[in-house]
Structure 1
């Protein structure tokens, strides 16, 4: 299966903001923060056309069955990823194409989330975003499945995240949560 990489769409930031606002409105008081993360949140960066959101909650148990039912009404489906300390949901378009990812994490880990650190670094360093975009294009052509594509990007992501964590005095951790 080919990996779909698209040129940056200037509507992606608005799509991310609308999706975040929709979640906050639908579940008042649950989310402490909601941010657009991932490649679609970085200006001029090529990306799989999927809006990645990260939201924080006081505790993962706050996402009760009733609240999960609201997420389902919004089109979000739960998926077990094996990543500790995180709930993951995806939303597809009517045509069955993946359109959104929602990562729910606890507020006590918010400031040290690798996805946020990586996004912020790419926004602040366009030359690294360009390098990352070129890597993504090569990997999309050369890899046949999503896991291989993702793993192919790990070395660059780990280098950037390590740099950001070291600059903040944070311990270094693998970007692959298992």
Structure 2
């Protein structure tokens, strides 16, 4: 399959976007920074238009803090899709030139009140920060990561395809009803998410 372009002009290989085989977690490794673990609040709220405004402000702060470093800063996840119920936690995707070079972005993000909660360099260089006001998860990836583009494609697809948006909403509510923690919630809705995402990637221009 020929590569396309993402929202920032970077070349994107669709075969890579469709490859969901993750690298194995190194033996004995944990993605969680000491003191952190998966959340247990699985409350799903009706969509709140204020989420978008809060995300714009947060993305602007992150962009300013990482001026000259961040390749992209985007509001993604369910709170970025009008009409989609969501946990009231904003997701932000940040791409940097080298996610392993934490000194180039961690201090700046900490200066904005973000706290590093996840470090899993074996998965696309991923780091995740938590923010309290507004509640947010800020995901940092390296330049070759497929996940930020998947997030963008999924967001844009749900914004323009109400049937899939409703299907995903049903899956989210069912997953939340199962209780447990965030990783279990994500696993329960993964099949529906993947089916929609594959369709969106395949048809994306």
Q: Structures share a fold, TM > 0.5?
A: yes
The question of 1:73 aligning with 2:111 is answered yes
Question: Aligned residues, how many?
Answer: 164
Q: 1:30 pairs with 53, 69, 74, which one?
A: 69
CA contact (8 A) 1:2 1:140 kept: no
Change (3 A) 1:45 1:79: same
Gaps of 5+ in 1: 170-178
Under a length normalisation based on structure 2, what TM-score does the superposition of the two structures give?
0.71
Q: Are the aligned partners of 2:76 and 2:92 in contact in 1 as well (CA < 8 Å)? A: yes
Deviations 1:102-129 (A, max 9, x none): 1112334469722122111111211111
In 2, distance between residues paired with 1:44 and 1:58? 34
RMSD over aligned Cα atoms? 2.3
- The Cα of 1:49 is off from its aligned counterpart by 0.4
Inter-partner Cα distance in structure 1 for 2:41 and 2:57: 28
Q: Does structure 1 residue 124 correspond to structure 2 residue 160?
A: yes
Runs of at least 4 residues of structure 1 off by over 4 A? none
Structure 2: which 5+ runs fail to align? Answer: 1-39
Rate the CA distance shift 1:124–1:23 in 2: closer, same or farther, 3 A. same
* TM-score of the superposed pair, with normalisation by structure 1: 0.81
Greater fraction helix: 1
